[in-house]
């Protein structure tokens, strides 16, 4: 299964401008698709609020609900039927659960780390009963005390992702003569590069803030403007802002290098040895997808059974193989296929982790500043 990381439009305020920029910047003749490949998310399917305890309704990214091997294994082990619906952004999932008032009909959801914070603050999540989760011991301890949910009270991190550079090896060596190591490579060789950046304001602005020595989560307007000005320098090299539609052009050599999320970049690298994915040596953004139980879930016992099942090492390894994300399951790492284990950028080293950040929730007034500069950047308004 080839999937990609979601657009990760981290706050609802960005959605309009991000989609507008995807339409206006079509230099490659490509448009941003749903990065998780979610066809199911197009339809709003109502789910029964009162369910029999033999059915478990899941709402998540397609990679987690379309893995038939995993779904059938769970049914065989527990006798519970699984019905999954996909969404194409954290914000879509949040809006549906808020509108339901805790009566969405779903008993498992897959919020990304920053969304766990928002949902926790809105009291939309049910606390986990650790007594029903003996397989939690398989999760590396550092993932159970992340800032978005200290002590894993409401969520269990399941997949680890990063943001980095995917590039065409032959094209880079032919045109530039040296392969990239860090973000500054983009600026150093901008006159020779044809690149894309992800259609995600917090990631792109955050990357520029990072190389200027500031935090991805900077709140100061003058520093945010510095990042905008830095990105303006790169505009002649940027073919498009796209999260997913860069893969074919990169493989063909129409693009030389792309800012990319790890899942789709590593999936492509596993298929094409001429594509490499690296993590910048100065650090990057790191993120996780989690499993959680929404408030008002009607099958609490089944939900815990699902979480416990997914934490089995062999199941976690299947999921990581399917989506090319890193896994938080310390035992599953040794069970990954050799071609996936051979990709050094699958998971960041301790050194890279120390230099990296997680993108966190910002106040609406700060987000408006980001959005203003993002709109100017992506629409060429200067």
State the DSSP code for 328: S
Which pLDDT band, with edges at 50, 70 and 90, does 24 fall under? Answer: very low
Per-residue pLDDT reduced to its tens digit, 324-366: 999 999 999 999 999 999 999 999 999 999 999 999 888 889 9
What is the CA angle 139-346-241, rounded to 5?
120
Enumerate the H helices of the chain as residue ranges: 15-24, 62-65, 68-78, 90-100, 113-121, 169-175, 184-188, 201-211, 221-234, 247-252, 262-271, 300-310, 313-323, 338-341, 350-355, 364-379
Which pLDDT band, with edges at 50, 70 and 90, does 18 fall under? Answer: very low
pLDDT given for residue 3 in this prediction: 37
Burial of 190 (0-12, 13-18, 19+ CB in 10 A): middle
> Hey, CA dihedral for 344, 349, 353, 355, is it positive or negative?
negative
Which pLDDT band, with edges at 50, 70 and 90, does 27 fall under? Answer: very low
pLDDT given for residue 87 in this prediction: 86
Which pLDDT band, with edges at 50, 70 and 90, does 211 fall under? Answer: very high
Average the pLDDT over each of 56-65, 204-213, 253-262 and give the range with the smallest value. Answer: 56-65
Which residues sit opposite 195 in a β-bridge? Answer: 238, 257
Which pLDDT band, with edges at 50, 70 and 90, does 49 fall under? Answer: low
- Whether this prediction's pTM lies above 0.85 is answered by no
pLDDT given for residue 382 in this prediction: 58
- 28-50 as b/e, with b when 16 or more CB fall inside 10 Å? bebebbbbbbbebbeeeeebeee
pLDDT given for residue 32 in this prediction: 34
Which residues sit opposite 125 in a β-bridge? Answer: 294
Residues 6+ apart with CB under 8 A from 327: 158, 159, 160, 316, 317, 319, 320, 333, 336
Which has more confidence, 282 or 8?
282
> Hey, CA dihedral for 296, 298, 303, 305, is it positive or negative?
positive
Average the pLDDT over each of 58-67, 144-153, 224-233, 303-312 and give the range with the smallest value. Answer: 58-67
The answer to whether 154 and 128 have CB atoms below 8 angstroms apart is yes
State the DSSP code for 237: G
The per-residue pLDDT of the chain, averaged, comes to: 87
Pairing status of strand 286-292 against strand 155-168: antiparallel
The answer to whether 250 and 165 have CB atoms below 8 angstroms apart is no
pLDDT of residue 38 exceeding 60? no
**Per this entry, what is the length of the chain?**
382
Enumerate the H helices of 84-147 as residue ranges: 90-100, 113-121
Residues 6+ apart with CB under 8 A from 170: 253, 274
């Amino acid at each position: 299964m080839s999937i990609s990381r979601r657009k990760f439009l981290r706050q609802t305020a960005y959605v309009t401008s991000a989609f507008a920029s995807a339409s206006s910047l079509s230099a490659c003749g490509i448009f941003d698709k749903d990065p998780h490949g979610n066809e199911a998310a197009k339809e709003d399917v109502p789910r029964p609020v009162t369910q029999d305890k033999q059915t478990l309704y899941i709402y998540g990214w397609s990679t987690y609900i379309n893995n038939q091997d995993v779904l059938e294994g769970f049914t065989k082990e527990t006798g519970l039927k699984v019905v999954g619906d996909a969404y194409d952004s954290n914000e879509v999932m949040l809006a549906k659960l808020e509108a339901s008032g805790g009566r969405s009909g779903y008993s498992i959801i897959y919020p990304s780390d920053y969304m766990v914070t928002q949902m926790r603050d809105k009291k939309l999540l049910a606390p986990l009963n650790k007594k029903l989760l003996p397989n939690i011991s398989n999760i590396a301890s550092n993932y159970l005390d992340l800032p978005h949910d200290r002590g894993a009270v409401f969520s269990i991190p399941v997949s680890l992702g990063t943001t980095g550079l995917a590039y065409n090896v032959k094209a880079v060596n032919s045109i530039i003569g040296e392969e990239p190591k860090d973000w500054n490579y983009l600026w150093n060789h901008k006159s020779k590069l044809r690149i894309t950046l992800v259609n995600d304001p917090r990631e792109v602005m955050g990357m520029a803030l990072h190389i200027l020595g500031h935090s991805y989560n900077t709140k100061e307007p003058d520093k945010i403007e510095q990042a905008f000005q830095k990105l303006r320098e790169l505009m002649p090299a940027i073919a498009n802002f796209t999260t997913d539609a860069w893969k074919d052009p990169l493989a063909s050599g129409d693009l030389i290098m792309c800012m990319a999320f790890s899942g789709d970049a590593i999936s492509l690298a596993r298929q094409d040895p001429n594509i490499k994915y690296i993590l910048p040596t100065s650090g990057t953004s790191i993120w996780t997808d989690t499993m959680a139980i929404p408030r008002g879930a009607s099958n609490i016992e089944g939900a815990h059974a699902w979480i416990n099942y997914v934490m089995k090492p062999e199941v976690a390894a299947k999921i990581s193989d399917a989506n090319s994300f890193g896994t938080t399951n310390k035992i599953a790492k040794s069970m990954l296929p050799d071609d996936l284990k051979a990709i050094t950028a699958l998971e960041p080293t301790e050194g890279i982790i120390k230099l990296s950040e997680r993108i966190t929730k910002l106040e609406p007034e700060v987000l408006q500043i980001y959005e203003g500069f993002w709109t100017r950047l992506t629409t060429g308004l200067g």
